[in-house]
Structure 1
Amino acid sequence: MSTSTAPRTVQLPSARVLVGGVYAVCVLAQLGVHTGDIVLTDKDPYHSEGPVESIIAISIFGTAALVIGVGLLLLLARTPAGARVGSFLLLALAVVTVVFFWSGAPGIFGACAAASAGLTRGGRPLAGSARVAGIIGAFFAMLNLVLTIGGLVLTPLIG
């Protein structure tokens, strides 16, 4: 089993910036919006699927994804063989959690997969299928960012 590296053509920000940015936008920004909804409106915050339920769900799923993703990244990315396994495992978690996209979980796992594959600044880029897993993980991270920002912008306009 070869763990060769490949040249990087597009450079993502550092792993800390990428994962932290996804968490900040997909989790913290949403928590801020829901908190603002409670503070600035007269609507009942405890209604079904209201701000309180959203804050609890986003906090739990988003933060759990951050802890699990970063934990696996730190544990597995020590060696090229471990980083290869990590990129596949983290991508699988991104795919499995796609039903929880509102919590930022797929984006966080995708960003961790990209970091594990060495696609972030300062990383050792892996070759082959591990690189593909990292690229798909980066796609999940960017897609989750776009969907979250779009949702935050469009929700007040349509509802």
Structure 2
Amino acid sequence: MTTETKATERRLSPAVLVGGTFALTTLLSIVLHVGEILFTDHDPHAPEGPIATIESVALVGGIGLVIALAIAVPLSRDPQRAKVGAIVLGALAIVTLPVFWSGAPATFGASAAWLGGLARGSHPQTGPARGFAIAGLVIAILEIVATIFGGTASQLLT
């Protein structure tokens, strides 16, 4: 008699991984700046003030989400194409790091992690695709931490 134990898989679904990352970076940043307008006496119309920041975060972060989903959704159905998508999205996460304030690198990174096999129901990849998936996940996590703690701290200290 053989007994087979199946390990419980604890991975996020692709929707939660990518959507949650977008919410915890781009949307949270927007909410923090709306709070700055509502609860401080800072000039919202100052050059690099809250309104300008909200506009740029929404634009760049939104474009990042659209591009990430336009690449990831069609490629996720085929493991070979997903491998290429993980590399492309992981590279985009790295290349867009200068605009980290927008949340776009985190969204690209989460999408790379999805296609690289780190999300529930995705095909595990190997080689460079796996490396870019892990790098993308690290970027997403670091950016979430930076947005939550850095954004919140900057709002409390001003």
TM-score by structure 1 length?
0.89
User: Partner of 1:42 in structure 2?
Assistant: 41
- Which consecutive unaligned segments of at least 5 residues does structure 1 have? 1-9
Q: Deviations over 1:19-45 (max 9, x none)?
A: 111111111111111112212233210
**Identical-pair percentage:** 42
Question: Structure 1 93/23 Cα, relative in aligned 2: closer, same or farther at 3 Å?
Answer: same
Is the CA contact 1:11–1:119 (under 8 Å) kept in the aligned structure 2? no
Bigger mean CA offset, 71-80 vs 34-43: 34-43
Number of residues of Structure 1 aligned to a counterpart in Structure 2 = 152
- Regions of 4+ moved over 6 Å: none
User: Partner of 1:64 in structure 2?
Assistant: 63
Q: Deviations over 1:80-119 (max 9, x none)?
A: 1110100010011101100000000110000000001121
Partner amino acid for 2:101?
Answer: W
Matched, 1:21 2:20: yes
Q: Deviations over 1:58-90 (max 9, x none)?
A: 000111110100110012222111101000100
User: Partner of 1:99 in structure 2?
Assistant: 98
Is the CA contact 2:91–2:132 (under 8 Å) kept in the aligned structure 1? no
User: Partner of 2:72 in structure 1?
Assistant: 73
Bigger mean CA offset, 77-86 vs 99-108: 77-86
- Which consecutive unaligned segments of at least 5 residues does structure 2 have? 1-8
User: Partner of 1:51 in structure 2?
Assistant: 50
Distance in structure 2 (CA, Å) of the matches to 1:73 and 1:65:
12
Secondary structure in structure 1 of the residue aligned to 2:117: coil
Is the CA contact 1:27–1:62 (under 8 Å) kept in the aligned structure 2? yes
Is the CA contact 1:91–1:113 (under 8 Å) kept in the aligned structure 2? yes
Is the CA contact 1:12–1:18 (under 8 Å) kept in the aligned structure 2? no
Distance in structure 2 (CA, Å) of the matches to 1:33 and 1:133:
30
TM-score by structure 2 length?
0.89
Q: What pairs up with 1:106-117 in 2 under 5 angstroms? A: 106-117=105-116
Distance in structure 2 (CA, Å) of the matches to 1:47 and 1:12:
43
Distance in structure 2 (CA, Å) of the matches to 1:65 and 1:58:
10
Matched, 1:137 2:136: yes
